[in-house]
Amino acid sequence: MKSFRCRLFGAAVLAFGVCAVGWAHAGHEEFQPIPEAVKSKYKFNLQRNFFKDEKAFNTALKDSDALIARIETLKGKVTSSPRNLYNAISWMDEFSVKFNRVYWYLQLKYSTNTKDLASRDRCVEIVQKIGPKLTFVNDEIKKMTPAKLASFVKAYPPLGKYRYAVEDSMRGRPHTLGLSEEELLARTGPLMGQWQDDLYNLLMDRTEWGTVNDPKEGPLDVRQDAGRIGNSLYREVRKEGYEKNNAAYKAQRDLFAFDFINVARTNNELAKIRKFINGQDAAYFNLHLSYPAVEAAFGQILGNGALSKRYQTLRKNRVQAFTGFDPVYAYDMSLTPPDVEKPRFTIQEATKVILDSVKYLGPEYHSAMDRLLDPANGRLDLVGGPNRVPGGFAIPSPGHESVFYSYAYEGYFGDVSTLAHEGGHVVQDAVMQAAGVAPVYSDGPRYLTESFAILNELVLADHLYRKSTNPGIKQYYLEKLTDQMFGFYGTARVAQIEKSVYESVSRGTVKTADDLDAVAQKIGSKSSIWYDLDPSVKALWQEIEHFYTSPTYMVNYVFADLLAQRFFAMYKADPNGFAKRYLGLLKAGYTAPPDKLLMKHMGINIKDPAGYTAVFRLQEQYLAELEKSYSGTK
């Protein structure tokens, strides 16, 4: 699952508060986030975790083909008997475990080397070949009636295991086409949706980012060394890096706009074929959300934009007070008082602090996190370099232990926070597998998935805050915690921008990069001070990777932030009691609609507007705590 974690200057401004970016401090010029002696261990061991050689890969591919052939024997007969229905779903589960490994093996080879076009193209080719062959299963299941399903479960009780999976599939019947049309879409889907992702990666690879010379660290690449530039002690270095980053995007803004607009246009048209309003509407449906519900959520959050601006103004004024800078720019927001030596973590130190922060969840969770972070297992790829896809992601891997990829690890607090976040995805997979959750229930509404990961970030920051004894460092971690909380508004801004672009593309009112700037400015200025203080901010839609590579995903983070902060409040009130209920939710998998799972395990009604009020109160509480810290009062 890709994470919305900002690595570049501009994105940090657009979603200020989403990205908890760390900053370098004096005396650590030689700091090595991943020491040279162990760098080779922090790269994927694909031979251990996937296939030892090409022969093993081809064998797995043949096994997948054999499973497809077995499933195809049920074509036209999936719902002719309870046993056939059971076999269809259980065989599809078996296939997903087998094929998932094949798919991600190719994807990870490409992610770690974007010059490996052969792996990327082979992956697309395989998906094109397989997709149409299995479309009939879901097509036939969707045509069932509740009465028929009930009679099947009664006649063959083992089918009860898959009852919700069938019900969830049946829910999509109004948006399903005929079998021949579905097969056609399955065959052409990769062609319609893949090229935009490829174009984005190509643009990123060939963009001339330039370098900045840091007096202590020497020449730094604006893209590959973004963290070190943004964390530089020298204002001129940060400024030059920020401006060169913006200029690099601006040089190709017409192509970024072309890509984003055509992502929206393609998804809109595909959604309309299925009788959705647009691509956003289709995404909401898959999340068990409605268009009105999402609009109401955005209204609640961005309507509280004054609180977000109050927080941003507090942070900006704080930087101005101890630097004397007037005005303060976005690239200055990294700074802390001169007497505060900011923390930076080697990968070993990051591992320890993450493991310490999740101890409250018990040995099962802790052990799963430990297995991921242990470099001996070859499940991490964190060493930066050229020809790597942007961002970071953990992969869903039912039947196997998941892995985590990141563009780079540089040792800043934001890197540690991202590692805790993605570790949350991996551990969720491990906990579900240990609990015997069927593969068909290992994936579901991603805002649940993301809420589990974001909670890890909140708890990590809180853990460091509570454990710190140095007043300056303690205040620093309080800032990181509040940054994460107020990222709620940055996430909502970004999601609302994407939603508005999809709507405007449908109306034909967004056609150029300037049009995209106007949409971003109109939305962003309502809850962020930066849109009015820095004219370049309105163009930062270019830097939101998800718009291109994971379209319509952003709404997940909005509801995930809402849930994560409610979880966090419960954790603070009763850590042990919360952990027990929370682990129950993780172990349940996606065996029911999300609202029912949340109510059963956590007592949370996600549709209740009072939930937003509770989050706003929590934010105000920590904002007041930060104000007191700045004023020096107890």
Closest residue by Cα to residue 558 from 517, 612, 477: 612
pLDDT band at 395; cut points 50, 70, 90:
confident
Confidence tier at 8 by pLDDT (50, 70, 90): very low
Asked if pLDDT for residue 3 goes beyond 80, the answer is no
Domain that holds residue 167: 48-171
Is 86 among the domain residues? yes
- Grade residue 187 by pLDDT with cuts at 50, 70 and 90: confident
Instruction: Confirm whether 106 is domain-assigned.
Output: yes
Residue 20 has pLDDT above 50, yes or no: no
The pLDDT of residue 29 = 53
The answer to whether residue 591 scores a pLDDT higher than 70 is yes
Under the banding of pLDDT at 50, 70 and 90, the label for residue 197 is confident
**Average pLDDT in the 616-627 region?**
97
Q: Comparing 106-110, 396-400, 558-562, which segment has the lowest mean pLDDT?
A: 396-400
490 is a domain residue: no
**Percent of the chain with pLDDT strictly greater than 90:** 83
Residue 482 sits at the vertex; the CA angle it makes with 523 and 293, to the nearest 5 degrees, is: 45
| Rg, C-alpha atoms of the chain | 24
pLDDT, tens digit, for every residue of 329-376? Answer: 999 998 989 999 889 999 999 999 999 999 999 999 999 999 999 999
Sign of CA dihedral 116, 132, 69, 401: positive
pLDDT class of 5 with cuts at 50, 70, 90:
very low
pLDDT at 396: 72
Q: Band of the pLDDT at 19, cuts 50, 70, 90? A: very low
Task: Supply the pLDDT for residue 546.
Answer: 93
Quick one: pLDDT at residue 2? 37
Asked if residue 1 is part of any domain, the answer here is: no
* More confident of the two residues 400 and 415: 415
β-pair partners for 406? 392
pLDDT band at residue 271 using 50, 70 and 90 as cut-offs: very high
Per residue in 571-582, is it b (16+ CB within 10 Å) or e — as a string? beeeeeebbeeb
**How does the average pLDDT of the chain come out, rounded?**
91
Instruction: Tally the domains of the chain.
Output: 1
User: Looking at the domain assignment, is residue 30 inside a domain?
Assistant: no
> What's residue 633's pLDDT?
57
Is the C-alpha dihedral spanning 353, 357, 359, 365 positive or negative?
Answer: negative
For residue 10, what pLDDT band results from cuts at 50, 70 and 90? very low
Evaluated on CA atoms 358, 359, 360, 364, the torsion sign reads positive
Q: What is the DSSP string of 25-88?
A: -TT-TT--SS-GGGGGGGS--HHHHT-SSHHHHHHHHHHHHHHHHHHHTTTTTTTSSHHHHHHH
Residues 15/493, Cβ–Cβ less than 8 Å: yes
Q: Is the CB of residue 162 less than 8 Å from the CB of residue 84? A: no
Buried b (16+ CB within 10 A) or exposed e, 316-339: bebbeeeeeeeebbbbbbbbbeee
Edge-first strand order for the sheet with 404-406 is: 380-381, 404-406, 392-394
Which pLDDT score is estimated for 188? 81
pLDDT at residue 12, rounded to an integer: 38
Q: What does the pLDDT look like over 459-501, one tens digit per residue?
A: 999 999 999 999 999 999 999 999 999 999 999 999 999 999 9
Q: Is residue 274 part of a domain?
A: no
Averaged pLDDT, 82-89: 98
Q: Assign 509 to helix, strand or coil.
A: coil
Q: What is the CATH number of the domain that holds 146?
A: 1.20.140.70
Using 50, 70 and 90 to split pLDDT, how confident is the model at 408? very high
What pLDDT was estimated at residue 192? 82
Supply the pTM of this predicted model: 0.90
Q: What is the mean pLDDT of residues 95-124?
A: 93
**Residue percentage of the chain with pLDDT more than 70:** 95
Of 154-163, 183-192, 447-456, 504-513, the range with the lowest mean pLDDT is 183-192
> Any idea which residue has 């995007």 for tokens?
249
pLDDT of residue 14: 39
Residue 63 located in a structural domain: yes
Does a structural domain hold residue 427? no
pLDDT band at 218 (very low <50, low <70, confident <90, very high): very high
Alpha-helical (H) ranges within 157-234 are 163-170, 179-206, 226-230
